[in-house]
Amino acid sequence: MKLVFTLVDVDYNVQSISQFLDNSQTAYWTEPIFAFTPQIDRSKIYQLEKQDQELYLRTIFTQLVEENKNTLKAKRIAYQNHWEICLPQITEALKSAFKINLEEEFNDMNAKITFNPICPRSLSEHSFDLFYLNSDKGAVGIAIHEIIHFIWFKVWQEIFHDQAEEYETPHLKWILSEMVVDPIMRDPLLSSINPYFETGCVYDYFYTLFIDNKCILDHLYEMYQQMPIDKFMQASYKFCQNHEAEIRHHIETNE
């Protein structure tokens, strides 16, 4: 398992952010962008056509990349160094969670340091965006979250032989994959080095999603402890299918 933290150019930042500013996203997704980048005028951005929107963002990010040149370089080194320190215990925890040999696999992972506070990921490329204002510990916490997705879906595909399109929002398989990060992260080897664990290492609306008076994450944790990972994937998915209407209703009212 190998993860490299990299710096990206202005264009990458523009693409990463603009995909969330196409008018189809709720405030849940767009608010952090406006909060962390007040240079983006929200009344202006939505009036622009996609091409002009990108030109507008390019001006803003050209300046931001230049102004933060040294910070970005220092962050990249700090993230990488802290990752290497934590790597043995992360590998041990994930090997035990997924029962796979991680020495030979996932050697091509890439964390792209961006101005996007949302961290979109690419399963096929084993890459994800990482917000530049994270601490080194926070960066490792985010990385563990994303890597759990990569390994989860690799193991999942071997069991279900399904289509990767279903691993993306709004599919139920995607929703489940976002929830199971919590039970897996409860391993003290991971939770102890993830500063986001206490306040929430998955979308906050999952913590208030109750099924039969119990938080759905606790239901999943109980199942996760009781069975091997392949059985857990099947049982947890069945559980989500049985409660799909409640789950979707809760997300829609809270997103």
Catalog residues that contact Zn ion under the rule CB under 5 A. 178
> Minimum distance between the CB of residue 60 and Zn ion, rounded to whole angstroms?
26
Interatomic CA distance for residues 232 and 189, integer angstroms? 20
Least separation in angstroms between CB 174 and Zn ion: 9
If one counts every other C-beta atom within 10 angstroms of the C-beta of residue 253, the result is 8
In the bound state with Zn ion, the residue whose beta carbon lies nearer, of 17 and 40, is 17
3-state secondary structure the chain: CCEEEEECCHHHHHHHHHCCCCCCCCHHHHHHHHHHCCCCCHHHHCCCCHHHHHHHHHHHHHHHHHHCHHHHHHHHHHHHHHHHHHHHHHHHHHHHHHCCCCCCCCCCEEEEEECCCCCCEECCCCEEEEECCCCHHHHHHHHHHHHHHHHHHHHHHHHHCCCHHHHCCCCHHHHHHHHCHHHHHCCHHHHCCCCCCCCCCCCHHHHHCEECCEEHHHHHHHHHHHCCHHHHHHHHHHHHHHCHHHHHHHHHHHC
**Nearest approach, Cβ of residue 126 and Zn ion (Å):** 14
Residue nearest to Zn ion (CB): 178
Q: Which is nearer to Zn ion, 61 or 167 (CB)?
A: 167
Q: Considering the complex, what minimum distance in angstroms separates the CB of residue 31 from Zn ion?
A: 18
CB of 148 to Zn ion, least distance (A): 8
Q: Based on CB atoms, which residue is closest to Zn ion, 1 or 179?
A: 179
Bridge partners of 114, per DSSP, are: 131
Taking the least distance from each CB to Zn ion, the nearer of 54 and 178 is: 178
**Please, which residue, 178 or 218, has the CB nearer to Zn ion?**
178
Closest CB to Zn ion among 178 and 187?
178
Smallest gap from Cβ 212 to Zn ion, in A, equals 25
